[in-house]
């Protein structure tokens, strides 16, 4: 992709350190959600008598925690990879320049 005569693939952009901080926050919150589930489920046991509802809540909370941890890990891995390996904005249009 060419813009104003510059080849965007060779343009090395500086890394945004805030992305690494955000990755750490996502992982931390995901781990906190996963660790809090047993305590919160004991509170839900008192409110709901249906085991099916409690299992549904458990599955949903574990899924949210896993997605948060996975997203944080993905963001951290992308931070440490070279820019040309993870930038989704750079696409190869097979020679079609506009």
- Tens digits of residue pLDDT in 61-90: 999 999 999 999 999 999 998 776 655 555
CB 71 within 8 A of CB 22: no
Q: What share of the chain is helix, strand, coil (3-state, %, to 5)?
A: 65, 5, 30
pLDDT given for residue 87 in this prediction: 55
pLDDT given for residue 92 in this prediction: 53
- Tens digits of residue pLDDT in 49-64: 788 888 888 999 999 9
Strands (DSSP E) contained in 13-96 are: none
pTM: 0.68
| 87 SS3 class | coil
User: How far is 45 from 51, CA to CA, in rounded Å?
Assistant: 8
């Amino acid at each position: 992709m060419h813009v104003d005569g510059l080849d965007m693939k060779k343009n090395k952009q500086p890394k945004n350190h805030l992305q690494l901080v955000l990755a750490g926050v996502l992982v931390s919150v995901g781990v906190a959600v996963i660790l809090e589930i047993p305590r919160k489920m004991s509170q839900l046991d008192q409110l709901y008598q249906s085991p099916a509802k409690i299992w549904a809540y458990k599955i949903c909370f574990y899924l949210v925690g896993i997605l948060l941890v996975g997203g944080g890990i993905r963001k951290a891995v992308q931070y440490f990879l070279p820019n040309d390996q993870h930038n989704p904005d750079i696409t190869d249009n097979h020679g079609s320049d506009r």
